[in-house]
Structure 1
Amino acid sequence: MWYDNDPGPLGILISAIIGFAWLIFLLRLAGKRTVAKFNMYDMILTFTVGSILASMIVLKDVTVVEGCLAMAVVVAIDWLLSQAALKSEWVRELLKSPPVVLVRKGEMQRDNMRKEQMVEEEIDMLLRQNDVADLSEVEALTIESAGDVAVIKRRDGVDEPQTLRKLRKDDSGIE
């Protein structure tokens, strides 16, 4: 369990309990952002930590101490990168892809759709899922950093929503 030897069933049970408790402790220290809705970066972090935990539990070549240390290092790297992202737009953009506008003012943004590998039928499906009967009803349809889709319906006499104005042309096709 603590050293390189065959852990046996009891060792696996103890490793699992210690590893799981340690992971909960680390994630509580890291904060809610670490376990918030997934974007690609978050998914990689989750798979990495989960793989370390699983290795620590079932592999005799990975001790509990080594597994706990590895999880702590990965969570610490995540915390450091999150701090850097707060201070640097470059780091933020490196870690998290910006939202992309797929429909703007009732027109499909085909270049953006190509970049996101989305076809017309998928846009139609997203419209139906959001109770939109016609493309002309849409001010914007965006794919967010976490992969969620946001649909903003048009409103007569209302300027472009502030959340859309914040998106840059190079990221979203908005002028």
Structure 2
Amino acid sequence: MRHETMRGTPTVMLVDNWTDLWRVAVVGALTYPALILLLRLSGKRSLAKMNAFDLVVTVAIGSTLATILLSRDVALIEGFAALVVLLGLQLAATWLSVRSRTVRRLLKSTPTLLVRDGCLLDGPMREQRVTDEEVQQAVRSQGIGDLSQVAAVVLETDGSLSVISAAQAGDWSALRAVEGATTDWRP
């Protein structure tokens, strides 16, 4: 914040109001452990690798926490209530997605096949906005130097790339739920 001095020269004020600074410290000290407790109670799913749904919830929680800390207009108990509601909704949505295929499809994307038997699949790669270089990097990171040694590369729901070597493809049962993977293309 800039404040004017008597001569009209702007100066930077480090603390505008000591009471507000103490409020942030106290509310932060109370809110942070409460958030950790709520996250622990909501289960490991809340802290797992994020898909789009998880990212939205995480951003909402972060925004709520910032509002609780910085806004005098939000009472501490209202902030706690907002965090409980957000985490409760996430818990309910993930609980429902485990039990309902329809809810799961609404909330989460499906994995997509990007490489099949060493061949890059241009259509799915274009649809998912994945470049050849990104796929090649994922293959290299698995210690594979030849695409012909790759049975499949899958873009997972969290945005990561899974590489399955031809030597470890097995019966392909792990690809059952992958978009673009069908059992009729395997020998």
Instruction: Please give the range of the TM-score, normalised by the shorter of the 2 chains.
Output: 0.7 to 0.9
Q: Could you tell me which residue of structure 1 aligns to residue 104 of structure 2?
A: 92
1:149 counterpart (136, 148, 161): 161
- Scaled by the length of structure 2, what TM-score is found? 0.82
- Spell out, residue by residue over 1:72-107, the C-alpha distance to the aligned partner (whole angstroms, 9 max, x if none): 110111111111101111111221211111001111
Of 47-56 and 88-97, deviating more is 88-97
Structure with the bigger RCO (C-alpha within 8 Å, sep 6+) is 1
Structure 2 residue runs of 5 or longer lacking an equivalent are 1-17
Q: Which residue of 1 aligns with 2:145?
A: 133
- Partners of 2:112 and 2:156 within 8 A in 1: yes
> Which residue pairs with 2:130 in the alignment?
118
Residue 21 of structure 2 corresponds to: 9
Letter of the 1:131 partner, please give it: G
Superposed, which structure 2 residues align to 1:60-71 within 5 Å?
A: 60-71=72-83
Match of 2:46 in 1: 34
Work out whether residues 135 and 161 of structure 2, in 8 Å CA contact, stay in contact via their aligned partners in 1. no
Distance apart, 1:7 and its partner CA: 5.4
The separation in 2 between residues aligned to 1:72 and 1:21, in whole angstroms, is: 13
Task: Indicate the percent of aligned positions where both proteins have the same amino acid.
Answer: 31
**1:162 and 2:173 aligned:** yes
Unaligned runs of 5+ in 1: 1-5
Q: In the alignment, residue 93 of structure 1 is paired with which amino acid?
A: R
Say what the alpha-carbon RMSD is for the aligned residues.
1.9
Deviation at 1:59, TM superposition (A): 1.3
Larger Rg, first or second structure (1 or 2): 2
TM-score, with structure 1 as normaliser:
0.87
**What amino acid is the match of 1:36?**
A
